[in-house]
Amino acid sequence: MTQGPRLLLVAVGVVALGLVPTLAPPFYANLLIPFFAYAIALLGFNLLFGYGGLLSFGHAMYLGLGAYAAAIVAGVLGIRHFELVLLAAAFGAVAVALPIGFLCVRYSGIFFGMLTLAFGMLAHSFLFKFYHLTGGDSGMRVPRMRILGLEFDALNKIELLAGPFYYYCLALMLLAGFALWRIVHSPFGLHLRSLRDNPQKAEYLGVHVPQLRLLAYVISAVYGAIGGAILGFRIGLADPELVHWTHSGHLVFMTVLGGFSNFLGPVVGALTLTLLQDQLQSITQYWRFVLGAMLAAIVIFFPRGLAGIAADAGRRLVRRQQPQVAA
Amino acid sequence: MSAFANVVFGGIFHAAVLFLVAAGLQLVFGVQKIVNLACGSFYALGAYFGITLVNAALKAGLPPVLLLPILIVAGLLMAVVGPPIERLLRTVYGRDESFQLLLTFALVLMFQDVLRFIWGANPRSLGNEVLTYGKLSSGDFTVPVYNLLVIAAAIAAACLIGLFLRRTSYGRLLRATAENRAMAEALGVNVRAVYAVVFSLGTLLGTLGGALVVPTSAASLDMAIEFVIEAFAVVVIGGLGSMAGALIGALLVGLIRAVSLVVYPEFEILAIYLIVIGTLLIRPSGLFGKAAS
């Protein structure tokens, strides 16, 4: 696809998202905050999965890390500034992802998946069992924080989330998306793709496979932690379920639903699943079944996800129009 | 001393059930190269259906002595879900392993709601049927005879699987397919049929494990996603695709869990994952596996 239509698409999307708090009831703005969180986390996750070809089945660990960082920095230490929480989450993610990534990136395929799954569950059992440190299954409270140094005293939590915090997250997502766009289109991004497609050849051509994979892993961890900090702020709680392997599975689900071979695929997937899950939950208590069936259908029939379907449709439209232009 | 024996027997009982499910996981991975996350769901299915069948049988006036046979029948019956699921998985055989993993994850999600739909959200359990066969005790040491029977059943299953794989011609076909699918196919092995058999057998082991565990612990919706992780730990420690590995891995995980529950409860699950990670890092092929990719 050429840059023109894609940029237009992004612009329309951003304007539409920007209008939500003014046009729709606060419920919807509130509902979209997890979308921003997941969109940021999945953009990073897809650097590893879509561009690096490494499927992590334990990435929810970093969302948990972000949420627990918020609980510790804002709750325990009482530093109620969201920017500092984000900073702590990012540093925490680097500190955790460097050693774990160092151990994991030596493997690819199913072994990478299993190792990350094991680390994820290690983190889960730590959070779950060490009650006196982590609050166990009741988790840790994440208090209300200042954003950009402003208290917004006049607003209650819902108004804060549906107003200033909403725009804050939108801006954060744009920033994270732009940064990742630059990363993907840098020589590093090219190298990463080359070693996804043919690691032997890439290595032969002088690409440092483990270092690059480690860098991708650490970046994706930082994105995950930022997403997790947003989730923590929104829910007001950091609990071990954030780290459970089924949550990691949902991250992969969203990415594949949107389309991992497309830069914006994960964002599409996060938006679709957030809205869909909300709708389904209000209709039936058996929403997991519907989601599972949908995942199965995507995997079997549309492995390139919604973005892939859209891209194909767009191409068909262009092809149909071309003869008319020529005539 | 007897307290120690209690702990060890608890661990071995857990290991016996774990072995059945992990053996199913191994079989499917060994031959089909698919990590089946849904094996925990088969386990849960077997457990729920076991309760239903036992209650129905007792109501119909069958003597409680038939508890074990009834549960085995329940496990066997529920294996019928295997073939249709294998048919579904057939659509992704040639595809990337992450897609295969995701499809089994989709099954996990669907199964959770199927179980919720049929049996409701609250945990279910049997009454005191576990003591039907009495219990052995000496001093502080007590173990229900039922637990010993399950351990025996798991050992029997291990022997049967071993005999089937080593001594029968169909077992040889399975091993040949596991070793080199293309070559087996070229030599005239009906790989499709082999896959269907293997997956059904894997399902059977899962449902059987679930049915057998149910007199001793409740069936709940979470048991699927909890147990698959433990089975996964077993196969990683033992070595992916190896039956002997599943046996040793199950014993290790069962005993470690039992011992750490007594010694240092916080460490229970943590210890298992530490061993899993250690195994993957030092010897990714596991104790008995072949060289890792």
Residue-wise pLDDT tens digits, A261-314: 889 899 999 999 999 999 998 988 898 999 999 999 999 998 888 888 888 888
Global pTM value: 0.90
Tell whether B170 lies on the interface with A, counting CB pairs under 8 A.
no
Query: The dihedral of CA B168, B173, B177, B183: what is its sign?
Result: positive
Q: Reduce the DSSP state of residue A159 to 3 states and report it.
A: helix
Cα separation, B202 vs B241, whole angstroms: 12
Number of structural domains chain A divides into: 1
pLDDT(A4) > 80: no
Amino acid at A228: G
In chain A, pLDDT over 90 holds for what percent of residues? 44
Which of B218, B248, B189 lies closest to B26, judged by CA? B248
- Average pLDDT over every residue of A152-176: 86
pLDDT of residue B292: 42
- Report the residue from B91, B92, B270 with minimal CB separation from A122: B270
What residues make up the domain containing A216?
A: 30-326
pLDDT(A159) > 60: yes
Q: Is A109 left (phi over 0), alpha (psi -120 to 50) or beta?
A: left
Chain pair A-B, CB pairs under 8 angstroms = 123
Tell whether B106 lies on the interface with A, counting CB pairs under 8 A.
yes
- The mean pLDDT value of chain A amounts to 88
Cα separation, B29 vs A208, whole angstroms: 31
The answer to whether A223 and A40 are in contact (CB under 8 A) is: yes
Residue-wise pLDDT tens digits, A48-82: 999 988 999 999 999 999 999 999 998 889 888 89
Q: CB-based contacts of B250: which residues, under 8 Å, 6+ apart?
A: B15, B16, B18, B19, B22, B234, B238
pLDDT of residue A310: 85
How many other C-beta atoms lie within 10 A of the C-beta of residue B185?
15
The 3 state secondary structure assigned to B49-99 is HHHHHHHHHHHCCCCHHHHHHHHHHHHHHHHHHHHHHHHHHHHHCCCCHHH
| CATH code, domain carrying A125 | 1.10.3470
- The mean pLDDT value of chain B amounts to 88
Residue-wise pLDDT tens digits, B236-269: 888 887 888 899 999 999 998 888 888 887 777 8
Residue-wise pLDDT tens digits, B45-99: 999 999 999 999 988 888 888 888 999 999 999 999 999 999 999 998 888 888 8
For residue A12, being part of any structural domain is answered with: no
For residue A187, being part of any structural domain is answered with: yes
Which residues between 190 and 209 in chain B have a beta carbon less than 8 angstroms from any beta carbon of chain A? none
pLDDT(A117) > 70: yes
Enumerate the residues of chain A whose CB falls inside 8 A of the CB of residue B293: 109-111
For residue A2, being part of any structural domain is answered with: no
Cα separation, B20 vs A276, whole angstroms: 38
Decide if B109 and A289 are in contact by the 8 Å CB cutoff.
yes
Residue to mutate among A299, A302, A304, with most B CBs inside 10 A, is: A299
Break chain B into its structural domains and give their ranges. 2-225
* DSSP, res B289: P
Q: What is the ipTM of this complex?
A: 0.88
Cα separation, A247 vs A238, whole angstroms: 14
Q: CB-based contacts of B186: which residues, under 8 Å, 6+ apart?
A: none
Instruction: Tell me how close the Cα of B128 comes to any Cα of chain A, in angstroms.
Output: 30
- Report the residue from B37, B109, B229 with minimal CB separation from A121: B229
For residue A151, being part of any structural domain is answered with: yes
- Report the residue from A121, A252, A287 with minimal CB separation from B273: A121
Residue-wise pLDDT tens digits, B137-183: 777 788 888 889 999 999 999 999 999 998 999 999 999 998 888 89
Q: CB-based contacts of B246: which residues, under 8 Å, 6+ apart?
A: B19, B22, B23, B25, B26, B234, B235, B238
Decide if A299 and B284 are in contact by the 8 Å CB cutoff.
no
